[in-house]
Amino acid sequence: MIRYLQRARKQDHQKVWSLAWPMILSNITVPLLGLVDTAVIGHLPDPRYLAAVAVGAMIFSILYWSFGFLRMGTTGLTAQALGAPDYNQSRLLLAQSLVLAGIIGLTLVVFQYPLIKTALTLVGAEPDVTTEARLYAEIRIFGVPAVLANYALLGWFLGNQNTRIPLLLLLVTNLLNMLLDLIAVYGLGMHAEGVALATVISEYASLLLGMTLMLRMLAKQPGNTPWPRLKSVSDYYHLINVNRYLFVRTLVLLLTLAFFTSQGAKQGASILSANAVLLNFFLIISNGLDGFAHAAEALSGKFYGARDRKGFHRIVSACLSWSLISAVLFTLFFWLCGELIIALLTNIPEVRDTATTYLPWIIGLPLIAVWSFMTDGIFVGTTQVKAMQNTMLMSVFGVFAPVWYLTQSLGNNGLWLAFLSLFVARGVTGGYVFIKEFKQPLE
């Protein structure tokens, strides 16, 4: 392992950082928004509002992340087109991804009633929490088309190794969302529905800004969009084939997160709310580590498209080195500051005390999860998406589910143990696939 980490040269580390730092900053704004939502609602006197936002946000996390293939698939294929290079193909991928995003988004809006009803039934929260969560969900659903289109744009920007625009988009959008949260809850006296409305407005503002920046970038790039191919169903085959594996992989992961939330809800509002606070910490960790995973997507995909084996392994070495350093820093941060952040997020004593009790699980998570984040980044860039699907299925059904079943007597501790075991399994299976697939020259 040490010899592999030493492969990267100075310029490889510079390439990684030039792409990673904007993505780290932009990614961290996403969970920071969740922290603001939690802090705004968490200081209201009734914990059911915090629980309702936790349930509603979880539902839309599953919904959006299930279609995260619109970002990941676009990134990997665009990066390979850049390495080829084939700018016409890059433009076609962008157009195809936006078309798919529009079709999927409008379909989900049309079928919102059974979708929301089924999701709330599966969560099985307490009746007063479910009522507030339904109000939240009935507003958030109208932001789906904008979010999915934004995924396609972000994937295309990242595949073209432009991480400055995603940084600008997410910073502007999330700052606007935070401001509107405060206005809705404290200025207008709204509750969960105010947080939802603020989010939807911000999502469409992001889409408008993203489309504007996309047109400016296209005007400076060579190539032409092959519009006739956009009407050909067969031309969507490669994109859809890549995306179907990503869809299954992501859906299984997010159903696991939904199961985690549901099991917490069955243990009462305090456990549900405390787990919601700690999952915000997990989102900070995952989005921070994803900065280097996104760099791995763009750079490994480019070298893979150019069939440059040495460059590929040097970039992977550099990305992994910085990911490990970041994981250590996250562990130290939550060890030293975790209790303070919990106290800032909520002044409800039972929620604060419960979250503090289970904080050690979060402290150890970065060092365990870092391996799965990095292998995912490499697999997206090289479109080894079937392997991503299969390793996720093995990890969830072969490890997470049995560990949860055997540790139910431990209550919430057993639930967190199963959660961490999922990342252990993903790291092991992903590492095995990486060694098997990439020890030979790229062909």
pLDDT digits (tens, 9 = 90+) for 22-80: 777 766 665 555 566 666 776 666 667 777 777 777 777 777 777 877 887 788 788 88
Q: Note the pLDDT of residue 294.
A: 80
CA 94 to CA 159: how far, in whole Å? 10
pLDDT in tens, 117-141: 888 887 776 777 778 788 888 898 9
Mapped onto helix, strand or coil, the DSSP state of residue 84 is coil
Say which amino acid occupies 77: L
d(CA 438, CA 350): 50
What six digits make up the tokens of 296?
């791995």
Instruction: For tokens 């130290």, name the residue.
Output: 332
Q: How far apart are CA 288 and CA 36, in angstroms?
A: 17
d(CA 407, CA 416): 10
Would you list the DSSP string of 258-273?
A: HHHHHHHHTT-HHHHH
Are 342 and 382 a contacting pair, CB within 8 Å?
Answer: no
Q: CA–CA separation, 143 vs 102, rounded Å? A: 12
d(CA 211, CA 225): 16
Q: What is the distance between the alpha carbons of residues 279 and 291, in angstroms, rounded to a whole number?
A: 18
Exposure of 143 by Cβ count < 10 A (0-12 exposed, 13-18 middle, 19+ buried)? buried
On the 0-12 / 13-18 / 19+ scale of CB atoms within 10 A, 423 is buried
Across 27-41, 271-285, 305-319, 420-434, the highest mean pLDDT is recorded for: 420-434
Res 32: pLDDT: 58
Q: Which two tokens stand for residue 154?
A: 């972000």
Length of the chain: 443
Asked if 59 contacts 120 with a C-beta cutoff of 8 angstroms, the reply is yes
Assess whether pLDDT exceeds 80 at residue 93: yes
Average pLDDT across the chain, whole number? 83
Residue 312 has pLDDT above 60, yes or no: yes
Q: How many CB atoms lie within 10 A of CB 187?
A: 10
Q: Round to whole Å and give the CA distance between 240 and 237.
A: 5
* Closest alpha carbon to 240 in 377, 74, 375: 74
- For 143-194, the pLDDT digits (tens) are 999 989 998 998 889 888 887 888 888 888 888 888 898 898 788 877 777 8
Confirm if 64 and 247 have CB atoms less than 8 A apart.
no
Q: How far is CA 278 from CA 31, 219, 284, in A?
A: 11, 44, 10
What was the pLDDT predicted at 413?
Answer: 93
| C-alpha span between 352 and 349 (Å, rounded) | 5
Both tokens of residue 269? 């509002």
For residue 159, the tally of other CB atoms under 10 A from its CB is: 29
| CA torsion, ordered 142, 143, 145, 146, to nearest 10 deg | 150
Q: Assign 105 a pLDDT band (cuts: 50, 70, 90).
A: very high
Identify the residue whose tokens are 């910073």. 171
Global pTM reads 0.74
**Greater model confidence, 5 or 74:** 74
Give the max Cα distance, the chain. 61
Residue-level pLDDT at 104:
92
Task: Tell me what pLDDT residue 442 has.
Answer: 47
Q: Give burial (CB, 10 Å; 0-12/13-18/19+) of 230.
A: middle
Q: Which pLDDT value is given to residue 64?
A: 78
Residue 122 near residue 258 (C-beta atoms within 8 A): yes
pLDDT at 101 over 50: yes
Q: Specify the residue for token string 């941060």.
A: 333
Q: What is the pLDDT of residue 265?
A: 81
% of the chain with per-residue pLDDT over 90: 25
Question: How far is residue 143's CA from residue 146's CA, in Å, rounded to a whole number?
Answer: 6
Give the C-alpha separation, 73 to 71, whole Å. Answer: 6
* Mean pLDDT computed over 77-89: 79
pLDDT for 443 equals 44
Residues 286 and 275: their CA atoms lie apart, in Å, by: 16
- The per-residue pLDDT for range 338-397, each reduced to its tens digit, is 889 888 877 778 888 888 999 999 999 999 999 999 999 899 888 888 999 999 999 999
Question: Could you give the CA distance from residue 100 to residue 102 in angstroms, rounded to a whole number?
Answer: 5
pLDDT winner (highest mean) among 29-33, 64-68, 222-226, 282-286: 282-286
| Residue type for position 387 | A
